[in-house]
Structure 1
Amino acid sequence: MRNNKFKNLLSLFVLLISLSGFSQELATPFAVADKTPVYPGCESLTGNDQKDCTVERITNHVNKNFNTALGKELNLSGRQRIVVKFVIGKDGEIRDVESRSLAKKAEVRASLQAEASRVIKSLPKMQAGEFEGEKVAIAYALPIEFATPQKENKNR
């Protein structure tokens, strides 16, 4: 009896995991898309100029909106790096945002990752990317790096 309950629970668990995998759309890598997503304001450009404009506008958005004062608040020094992966959906919306920091302290990692995710989620809706003539979700990865002042050596 107990073994049957365990098997039923295990089956339900496997079913839930497999169903959750279907809820996320598959994403085409940014580099292989026939037409990359288009950031607002880049629509009048074509080809690589449009792609470069989109990359530049995403980077500028992050640079403008990332709270670099967080480094001081967290008492950090030197370069901080967070890598953010996200998807620009078939509808142009940002989704599936994941960020990763290699900071040693868990609370610092969590703060940096939360800030990176917040900024990426604030990106505007874009025109969808295309692959083989169809609108597709596009996977995008962005390293975010900022420098905080080095702490002075007080032993001098």
Structure 2
Amino acid sequence: MPDALIRWLAGALLLITLQAGVWWHGWHTRDQQAELAVQDKALADARQALNDFRTESNRLSTIASDIQQRADQINTNAARHTTEYRTYAVQNPLPADCRLDAERLRRIQSAVDDANAAIAAGQSGGAGTTDRAPNQRQPR
């Protein structure tokens, strides 16, 4: 009988060991799955943040490009108006009574119109407040 008892105890011990191994493996696997779910969530959040950053970066890049184009246009217009005005002022000096002639006033008004159009375009987000192009005189 002791031999049968030893076999029974060995079988019981083997069964308990097997159940403990299965329990530990299940516990360990469940823990890994929970950790993997947390990591997947963190990865998804990081990817979403990266996509949001990329979208915002592209938007800001577009705005910066638009601002640079407007600044270049303003600089070009300012240089042109300055050159035209100085050339005209040298060719046609002011009269002795210091009154501005019509062409000199037109050139000054043209520069003011371009500056106002640039300001209006900047304030409205791209569209000017008038239907006329810069440097175009309104009829009187």
Same-fold call, TM cutoff 0.5? no
The answer to which structure, 1 or 2, has the higher relative contact order (CA under 8 A, 6+ apart) is 1
Flag the structure with higher helix content.
2
**So what's the TM-score if we normalise by structure 2?**
0.32
**So what's the TM-score if we normalise by structure 1?**
0.30
Structure exhibiting the larger radius of gyration computed from Cα positions: 2
Flag the structure with higher strand content.
1
